[in-house]
Chain A
Amino acid sequence: MAEITYLEAIREALFEEMERDPNVFCLGEDIGVFGGAFKVTDGLRERFGLARVIDTPISESAIVGAAAGAAHMGMRPVAEMQFIDFVANAYDMLTNYVATSRYRTGLVCPMVVRGPSGGYVHGGPFHSQNPEAAFLHTPGLKVVAPATAEDAKGLLKAAIRDNDCVLYLEHKFLYRRIKGSMPAGDHVTPIGRARVARAGKDVTVISYGAMVWKALDAADQLEREDGLSTEVIDLRTLAPLDDEAIFISLKKTNRVVIAHEDTRTGGIAGEITARINESCFEWLDAPVLRVTAHDVPLASAPSLEEFILPQTADIVAAARRAARY
C-alpha cells in the first residue's frame, strides 16, 4: 500500500469517519472553502458539502460550545482550532462546560477538538504552543498526541468514536515530513495505550508527538557511540496516561528520561515522575530526568527557538547521565 503523509492520514480519518457516520461533521475557521490553514480538510467540502464542513466566525469559544451543544443532541462534531494556541480562547468552554457536563448533568459531549500544535517551525509565541498540560490537569478531557502517520489516522478515528471529548494534538512539524503505510481496513488506535517505539534494555526515554523522532535519533546515537540500548516509549495518549506501559519499561531498564517539547514547570514530565516515584521508587537506579523546553515563551528567531526547544543532543546527554548515575 502506498505511503501517505501524517497530514493525509488525518484527512483520511476525517473522510472515512464522515462516510461511516452521518452525525460526524467538521467546524472551524477557514476549513470549508479554503480547506484549512494547513489544508487538512481540503476536499471535505466537495465530498460532504458546506453543511457538514462549516466555516465559522473567529470564535473559538463558540466553536467549542456549539460543538458541545450539537454533541448533546447526538452529533459527533470535530472542531478545528486553526492553531492549537487559540484553544486558550475556548479554555472556559472546554474546562468549565465540556469537561464537567457528563459528570454533573449526564449530558454527553462526544466531540473532538483538534488542531496543529508544536514548534520547530519558527512559528513564534502564538503558533507553536503545546497546551497539553492544562488539559491533562482537567478531569473530563482526554488528550492524544500522535507521533506517526499510522497513529494520526488511528487515534483520530478513535477520538471521533469516543463517547467523550478528546483533545487531538496534531504536530505541525510532522504534517508533511513523515509518512506511513495505513493498515488495511478500519484502522483504529485505542485511546489510553502507549507503544514501544523502539525496544531497549539500558535506559527508557518516554516521549510523545514530534519528540518521539528525536528520541529515536538519540537512541541511534547512544547505541552507536556508547553501546547503550535505549527503549523509546511513545505515549500516544496523554490523558489518561498509560501507567502500565511506563512501569513495565522502567522495571526493565531502571533508568528513565522523559522528553517533551512543552515547557518544564507544570509539564507532563513532572506528573509522570510523580507516578514513578509513588509506584516504582525501588526500581529506580537513577533519578528521573526531564528534557523539556526552557520555561520561556517560544521565540520565533530560529537561533532562539533552537535553543529553547529540546534537541536530540539534550536527550542524548540526559540518557548518558541517567546511564552512568
Chain B
Amino acid sequence: MISVAGKRAAAGARRGSLASSAPTLTADQKLALYYWMRLTRSLEERLVALHRQNKLVGGVFRSLGQEADAVGSAFALEPGDVVSSLTRNLGSLLVKGATPAEVIRQHMGTADSPTGGRDLGLHFADIERGFIGHVSPLGNMVSVMAGVTLSFLMRGERRAGLVYVGDGATSTGAFHEGLNFAGVQRCPLVVIVENNGYAYSTPTRLQTAAARFVDKAVGYGVAGDRADGNDVLAVYDVTKRAVNRAREGGGVTLIELMTYRRRGHAEHDNQSYVPSGEVDRWAADNDPIDRYLRVLLDREKVDESAISAIDARVQAEVDEAAEQASHSAAPLGADALHGVHADPPAAAALWYR
C-alpha cells in the first residue's frame, strides 16, 4: 500500500525540477533565495550538532525539505509586513532579519538570547523587524495575526500579515476562529497551510476528511490557492499574489503548500511511523534546494562559482554565529522575577524564601 505522502512524492517527482518563472525577481533576488534556503539548512545542521553536544535547552525542530516554504513566502513580504512563523519556519525569521547568532542563543537559552532564556526554539519576536514567533498551542497565531492585520486596516496602513499553520493545526478551534474572524473583517492576512504529511506522528488522513486543505477556503469565503511547496519560485509567486491581494483590500487568502517533513517532529523522534523508503524518495527526488540549484544552473545560467561563494559565505556566517554564541552566559535565576508586568516591574518573592 502506498501512503498518501508516498503518492505525493511520486507526484512531486513527476513535476520534475522545472520551477515556475517568478518573472518579477531580479538575478540577485534569485540568488538571495538560494542563500536563505542554504543558510536555513546549514544553521539547523549546526543546531543539531550543538544539540548532540548537550549545549542546547530543549529540542531541535528541523525544516529539512521544507526550506522553500518558509523562504519563498517570507521573501514575498515588504519591510513593513509582519510574519508569524511556525515550528518549521526558521527561514522566514532569517529573511525578516533574525540573525544566526540570536537563533543559536535562543536555542541555548542564554541571558543575551532574544527571550533571555524564557522560551525555547523559534518562540521569539521582534515587532520592529516584523516577526512574531509562534506559541505551542497550535492555531493561536491565526487569531493574533488577525488582530495585527486588523490594526493595519484601522490605521489605513497598506501592510500585510502572513501566518503559518501546519496540517495538524487546521484541526484546532483557534485556527477556525481566527480564520473566520479574519475573513469577516477582510483582514490583509495570508494564511499558509504547510501540508507536510505529518503532525508529529499523525498522518494527514487522520487529521481531516478533506481531500485538500485549500478547499477550506471556500467554507470561510476567502481566496484559496495551492502550490508546490518545494518549488521556491512557485511559493514566492503564490504568496506574492496573496500579499498583493491583501494590500489592495482583497482580504484573506488561504494557501496550501504541498511539502514533506523529512525529519521527525523533533530530533528525538525516530519516525518509526513513516513507511519505509518514503523519506528517501523525497530526499532523492524532491529536495527544494537541489531542485532550485538545477533551476539556477541550467535555466538561469548562474555560474557555479556564484553558488560556491554563497555556500562559503553561509558556512562562515554559521561558524561565526556559533563562535559568538559560545561566549554567552546563562541568565541569573533571580532575573526570572522581572518583566511579568510593566507595573510592578518585578514579582515579589515570599518573605521567607
Contacts and interface: CB of A to CB of B under 8 A. Distances in A.
Interface of A: 25, 51-52, 54, 56-57, 59, 61-75, 77, 92-93, 96-97, 100, 102-108, 139-140, 142, 162-164, 240, 278-279
Nearest to B145: A69
A62 B151 contact: no
A69 B180 contact: no
A69 B146 contact: yes
Contacts of A108: 342
Contacts of A96: 135-137, 140
B132 A72 contact: yes
B79 to A, nearest CB: 15
18 contacts: A25-B154, A62-B146, A62-B177, A64-B143, A66-B147, A70-B154, A92-B137, A93-B143, A96-B135, A96-B136, A96-B137, A103-B340, A105-B115, A105-B123, A105-B125, A107-B127, A163-B343, A279-B351
B100 interface: no
A97 B154 contact: no
B278 interface: no
A163 B147 CA distance: 17
A61 B341 contact: no
Contact of A66 (B119, B125, B150, B339): B150
Interface in B127-155: 127, 132-133, 135-137, 140, 142-152, 154
A70 B181 contact: no
Interface of B: 114-115, 118-119, 123-125, 127, 132-133, 135-137, 140, 142-152, 154, 173-174, 177-178, 180-181, 184-185, 339-344, 347, 350-352
B333 to A, nearest CB: 15
Contact of B154 (A51, A68, A107, A140): A51
Nearest to B184: A57
A276 to B, nearest CB: 13
Given A54-B185, A139-B340, 20 more contacts: A61-B177, A61-B178, A62-B180, A65-B140, A65-B143, A65-B146, A66-B144, A69-B143, A69-B145, A69-B148, A69-B149, A73-B148, A92-B174, A93-B140, A103-B339, A105-B114, A105-B119, A140-B341, A162-B343, A279-B351
A57 B177 contact: yes
B312 to A, nearest CB: 34
Contacts, number: 139
A278 B352 contact: yes
A33 to B, nearest CB: 14
A57 B339 contact: no
Contacts of A75: 151, 154
B151 A69 contact: yes
A139 B135 CA distance: 17
A62 to B, nearest CB: 4
A73 B151 CA distance: 7
Given A74-B151, A96-B137, A107-B132, A68 B118 contact: no
Contacts of B351: 278-279
A57 B220 CA distance: 12
Contacts of A61: 140, 143, 173-174, 177-178
B124 A105 contact: yes
B185 A97 contact: no
Nearest to B347: A139
A70 B127 CA distance: 12
Contacts of B137: 92, 96-97
A278 B349 CA distance: 13
B341 A65 contact: no
Nearest to B336: A103
Contacts of A71: 147
B147 A68 contact: yes
Given A71-B147, A278-B351, A62 B178 contact: yes
Given A93-B174, A104-B115, A163-B343, A57 B148 contact: no
B143 A104 contact: no
Contact of A57 (B132, B144, B145, B180): B180
B177 A59 contact: yes
A65 B146 CA distance: 8
A142 B341 contact: yes
Contacts of B341: 102, 140, 142, 163-164
A72 B147 contact: yes
A202 B39 CA distance: 72
A10 B174 CA distance: 30
Contacts of B123: 104-105
